[in-house]
Amino acid sequence: MIIVVVGPTGVGKTKLSVELAKKYNGIIVNGDAMQVYKKMNIATAKIKEEEKENIPHYLFDICDLEDVYTIYNYQKDARNIIDSNKGKTIIMVGGSGLYQKAALYDYRLSEESSNSDKYDSLTNEELYDLAIKKNPEMNIHINNRKRLLRYLNREEETIKTDKLIYNDVIFIGLTTSRDNLYDIINKRVDKMVEEGLIEEAKYFYDKHIKCKALDTVIGYKELFKYFNNEISLEEALDLIKKNSRHYAKRQYTWYNHQMPVTWIETNYNDFSETVNKAIDLIENKKETE
């Protein structure tokens, strides 16, 4: 069985994935587009070694920042892991819905982008709107016309269906009230700062690394503006919180329209109740098959 654990940051996905892996003697596969990169730990809320509890974790820390790791690469790697672990329970956890869907559904992706000129007459704003409609997680800047065109042209070469290519897949989402989620996100950013987020961002900034990963992750790009003396530290942290809240909203919208997710309200006071609800869903699915 493949158990896909989804939801925005701070709802308990990582903790639930570990508990389910222990329950079903399973393995965990990263379903987050940015956690494949090494050293990007705090900003991406990557699982810590001590939290893994000796459970095999795959597709974490497999790329250097300068590497170009696309959805095409992720699909290939994720499917290889799934196919190599037949008979085992696989827990795919993360918040990058398009990556998860590309791995599990009948998505036939093209490795190379096309040279189509059908979008050439559109403005940057129109290109950006089309890209967001295709994938709300898309993080290409509105002024980066070349990348927007490449993204849209590549998408046109992709064949997508709503047909799962694997049997026994269940989608479980963790959620909480909007006010509580926003409060959790705000406090989570503060905790990230305590854990060294600013120092982590400064490490990359001082190395003058230019890459898609650093331009995408919420937390780095805002602090880079602070390092450039464009905004104050307080403004940068407020912007991180704001962008994180907006991203969480887009994640909910995407999952509700793209995947058959059953949502569970996270019980932060008694997380075992959340785990038991997830187990009940899994066992009920097994009984109906």
Lowest mean pLDDT among 58-62, 139-143, 266-270, 271-275: 139-143
pLDDT reading at 219 higher than 50: yes
φ/ψ of 260, rounded to 5, equals -80, 70
pLDDT reading at 124 higher than 90: no
Both 176 and 256 in a single domain?
yes
Both 123 and 74 in a single domain?
no
Both 167 and 93 in a single domain?
yes
pLDDT reading at 93 higher than 80: yes
Identify the domain containing residue 201 by its residue range.
2-109+158-287
| Most confidently modeled range among 75-79, 120-124, 210-214 | 75-79
Q: Which two tokens stand for residue 256?
A: 């509700």
Both 146 and 192 in a single domain?
no
Residue that is last in its domain, among 157, 188, 222: 157
The average pLDDT across 110-137 equals 72
pLDDT reading at 120 higher than 90: no
Both 114 and 205 in a single domain?
no
Residue 3 C-alpha from the chain's centroid:
16
The average pLDDT across 64-87 equals 92
Both 115 and 249 in a single domain?
no
Query: Is-contact 11 266, C-beta < 8 A?
Result: yes
> Rounded to the nearest 5 degrees, what angle is found at the Cα of 93, between the Cα atoms of 45 and 36?
60
CA–CA distance, 282 with 10 (Å, rounded to integer): 22
Q: How many domains does the chain have?
A: 2
Interval 221-263: pLDDT, tens? 999 999 999 999 999 999 999 999 999 999 998 999 899 999 9
Residue 203: pLDDT band (50, 70, 90) is very high
- The pLDDT of residue 113 is 38
Residue 67: pLDDT band (50, 70, 90) is confident
- The pLDDT of residue 122 is 83
Contacts of 101 (CB under 8 A, 6+ apart): 107, 258, 259
The average pLDDT across 123-148 equals 84
Number of residues in the chain: 289
CA–CA distance, 167 with 170 (Å, rounded to integer): 9
- The pLDDT of residue 278 is 97
Residue that is last in its domain, among 157, 172, 194: 157
The pLDDT > 90 percentage for the chain reads 68
Contacts of 182 (CB under 8 A, 6+ apart): 245
**Consecutive H or E run containing 129:** helix 124-134
pLDDT reading at 274 higher than 70: yes
- The pLDDT of residue 24 is 96
Both 152 and 162 in a single domain?
no
Both 96 and 196 in a single domain?
yes
Query: Is-contact 187 268, C-beta < 8 A?
Result: no
Q: Which residues of 147-185 are buried (b: 16+ CB within 10 A; e: fewer)?
A: bbbebbbbbeeeeeeeeeeeeebbbbbbbbeeeebbebb
Closest CA to 122 of 131, 134, 133: 131
pTM, rounded to two decimals: 0.81
Both 236 and 151 in a single domain?
no
Q: Which is higher by pLDDT, 181 or 67?
A: 181
Residue 52: pLDDT band (50, 70, 90) is very high
- The pLDDT of residue 116 is 46
Write down the mean pLDDT value for the chain: 90
Residue that is last in its domain, among 128, 157, 186: 157
Contacts of 53 (CB under 8 A, 6+ apart): 18, 22
The tally of CA atoms less than 13 A away on the side-chain side of residue 18 is: 14
Both 8 and 103 in a single domain?
yes
Residue 18: pLDDT band (50, 70, 90) is very high
Both 123 and 264 in a single domain?
no
CATH number at residue 14: 3.40.50.300
Amino acid identity, position 72? Y
Q: Please identify which residue in the block is written with the tokens 């269906």.
A: 161
CA–CA distance, 181 with 199 (Å, rounded to integer): 26
Both 212 and 278 in a single domain?
yes
